[in-house]
Structure 1
């Protein structure tokens, strides 16, 4: 590779990684602002889950369509259109006066993310090959891994200085700058698009979106009980619609999804592995800010800073990726990453058992570090392993298919963590309230219960806050233990699927 070409590719890599970094900062910055938003609009846990899930739902619905369009109209052109959605959504978000408008803004951002992330991965898969692809994916993973836990720090700072609307203002300016930089530095690349039909399979799109929406709604409602009709009926219908989408799409002459890629065991193994990365990441980021800001009574800025062990460990893991892969292979590295995530989840949950606050926080730190390392080392290994198996002309479809699995992980991460945490919290609150001799019902959210405590006398209010804090910590034991179990099951599935692959 000559120096001029290498320099141009390096510029392209920096620009694409910048887009990924800003995207992931945006994705998680809102999590740290959720307590602030809950206070502004009186949002309960279900409302907060929808604020996060609306983004993830539309993301998942759009991502396959983005791959379909990108492979036909050009990945760069499609990516810039996705970035433009963030600018529009930021303007709407700034003017939000209620939760529905906020949800609409976040949904548009989800659509933008559903376009940008798979197109970025597709461009990397086209521009780089061989050892250079591994280097590019590692840089991409570092950018994304850094952005996810770094988002709460940025969100905390903006919320502390400007309120939660400051995040929308930040997004509008930054994404506009990213559009200009990418347009100037990243070349159009890929196979010819003229020969491929742009006829969009809208039935497939509708079935997938309806399926994911109903399944997510069921997960949110599961906080009132998994056997409640409002939980299992939407989930069951959602599963039927998702199954119908897969069958319809496979029989179609113009499929939205290239499921033939799943015949490759390496690609097929990466799909559930990447799903567990997002499941873990979004679950942690959804639960921890409320614990740090409300239960421990830190501000948004300090709460964001206390998630930095996750950031640092993620960067270390990503930087060590090549070294680890060279010794145990992509398969071994992926399994190691999932193992680290499970151990990290168990440690964070187990920390809530400790009566000593110093030991408790040190154990939480250790859990964050272990989970962060798993996130950092796993993502580049899994993406490189999978994308190296995808033909160039299917780069958009391959990247989009992987991203669907990742976003489904995000949806079930927020849904499962949120519902288990909320359900256990209400039950534990009732139990602790009775032990304190209080006749109090939980509002369904530790943030709202803390707000309610401010309206009571100092002695009763203090008992309410103590009850809510103990209930939230106790619920974390169950939610993180359940998450660790799910990850271990996925680890076994990944090991089974990939057992005949080479390293």
Structure 2
């Protein structure tokens, strides 16, 4: 792509970043509407987890297939097909009258995201090389970083003015516009190896999808107890299927993924590091809306605004990425980012210990800021570190493999956060309600408990809401502490894998 002029490359970068921005806005804007959806469709915590996880599961199942097809058919064509899925899914979401239809809509969107994100990264890896790749990946990361926490603000505005269905109407219009702009401005790159087999390894696709589905189902069911049969059996079976997929694909003459890329220590270190970025993002965005909108009784708009510290800190971190990398290297920056994420998680969890509301909010704001800075500096450093090691002819496969790890982080983020939060919340609600002489049985989520309390006498209703709020805050401490522990362990693994690499 050396013959392209700078103007063409800049237009391409802007268009690809726009696609990433609206993609991430879509992903997180929806989470702000979950309390409204739960009330409108009567969805409990488990159903809410499935609404979010359906997107992530199909994403994970499609992403390697997208890389497989993109390297053969052309990355731009494959990306435009993925964007078209969002337009179709938006129409279905507008008409959704129950949870199953909503699940179908979100699943199709997950498939679209599983195509668009790795193809966008692959196009950047082809169009830009050397020092320019770092600049492009930083711009891409800033767009995604903006979208992730900025999404709740957009979702809050749409939900407050148009209801939760307004998000789907917004998606349909915006994604159609993005398709037109990208088609007009981004050059075709073609498949890297058009002579390679187009025969899709469906066995690998099926094993991976079944493995992720069962593992996620086990995580959702773990809210009733990790040792319950419907929790550990699906998780164990899913883990076996994912392992079987890796072994089967590795021995295949027509592999779905390029597992050989993991032999490079830099690439191998980035995979779990990127996984923790999504683990943190999706965990925060899944847990915080119910706290801000239900416990603190703010509307969706104000709840979105209260996540803005995450936005600002992420932007600052992304802008400082080049400066930080120039001093401590990509490895050091990645480890610093993971440390910030762990510290941010611990701070948000510790905020719930304060008796005063002002102290709680200030401490939570500090936690958001620290975590946001880690997200901001981490993503561009990790992507540049990894994609700089991938040959051009394997750009799609390399990007897809990294994206699989990121999506697995999303799945376990929602699963672990959701299950721990729900399990601790129900247990704490039971103890507090029993001590107060009330019915100790929770409806399953703080939103539904608040909704049920509305039909009781004023005194009883106020007491139940107070108990539910205290139980949710107490559960947040446990959830964020567990998340910090997972990140710290991963930080150690990343440091160990990359110890022999240069900066």
User: What range is the shorter-chain TM-score in?
Assistant: over 0.9
Query: Is 2:492 the counterpart of 1:495?
Result: no
**Partners in 1 of 2:288 and 2:21 — Cα distance?**
21
**Partners in 2 of 1:468 and 1:96 — Cα distance?**
30
TM-score, length basis structure 2: 0.99
Aligned match of 2:364:
364
Unaligned runs of 5+ in 2: none
**Partners in 2 of 1:2 and 1:439 — Cα distance?**
70
Find the residue that maps to 1:129 and give its secondary structure: coil
How does 1:58-207 map onto structure 2 within 5 Å?
Answer: 58-189=58-189, 192-207=192-207
**Partners in 2 of 1:209 and 1:366 — Cα distance?**
38
How does 1:196-275 map onto structure 2 within 5 Å?
Answer: 196-275=196-275
Q: 1:387-441 CA distances to partner (integer Å, 9 max, x unpaired)? A: 0000000000000000000000000000000000000000000111123222331
Aligned residues of 1:16 and 1:182 also touching (Cα < 8 A): yes
Aligned residues of 2:387 and 2:399 also touching (Cα < 8 A): yes
Aligned residues of 1:64 and 1:400 also touching (Cα < 8 A): yes
Find the residue that maps to 1:354 and give its secondary structure: coil
Q: 1:24-44 CA distances to partner (integer Å, 9 max, x unpaired)? A: 000011100000000011100
Q: 1:220-243 CA distances to partner (integer Å, 9 max, x unpaired)? A: 000000000000000011011111
Shift of 1:446: 0.2
Aligned residues of 2:223 and 2:419 also touching (Cα < 8 A): yes
Aligned residues of 1:215 and 1:238 also touching (Cα < 8 A): yes
**Partners in 1 of 2:385 and 2:113 — Cα distance?**
23
Aligned residues of 1:65 and 1:205 also touching (Cα < 8 A): yes
Q: RMSD of the alignment, in Å?
A: 1.1
**Partners in 2 of 1:432 and 1:315 — Cα distance?**
41
Aligned residues of 1:74 and 1:193 also touching (Cα < 8 A): no
Aligned residues of 2:75 and 2:191 also touching (Cα < 8 A): no
Shift of 1:253: 0.3
**Partners in 2 of 1:329 and 1:194 — Cα distance?**
37
Q: 1:49-77 CA distances to partner (integer Å, 9 max, x unpaired)? A: 00000000000000000000000000000
Query: Is 2:301 the counterpart of 1:337?
Result: no
**Partners in 2 of 1:502 and 1:47 — Cα distance?**
46
**Partners in 2 of 1:252 and 1:129 — Cα distance?**
31
Find the residue that maps to 1:91 and give its secondary structure: helix
Shift of 1:466: 0.2
Shift of 1:356: 1.2
How does 1:319-338 map onto structure 2 within 5 Å?
Answer: 319-338=319-338
**Partners in 1 of 2:410 and 2:8 — Cα distance?**
34
**Partners in 2 of 1:205 and 1:4 — Cα distance?**
36
Q: 1:327-355 CA distances to partner (integer Å, 9 max, x unpaired)? A: 00000000000000000000000000000
Aligned match of 1:49:
49
TM-score, length basis structure 1: 0.99
Alpha-carbon spacing, 1:3–1:247, altered in 2? closer, same or farther (3 Å): closer
Aligned match of 2:346:
346
Aligned match of 1:409:
409
**Partners in 2 of 1:442 and 1:92 — Cα distance?**
32
**Partners in 2 of 1:274 and 1:64 — Cα distance?**
16
Aligned match of 1:37:
37
Aligned residues of 2:33 and 2:159 also touching (Cα < 8 A): yes
Unaligned runs of 5+ in 1: none
Q: 1:117-174 CA distances to partner (integer Å, 9 max, x unpaired)? A: 0000000000001110000000000000000011111011000001000000000000
- The count of residues paired between Structure 1 and Structure 2 equals 503
Worse-superposed segment, 411-420 or 182-191: 182-191
Q: 1:147-205 CA distances to partner (integer Å, 9 max, x unpaired)? A: 00111110110000010000000000000000000000000125643211110000000
Aligned match of 1:465:
465
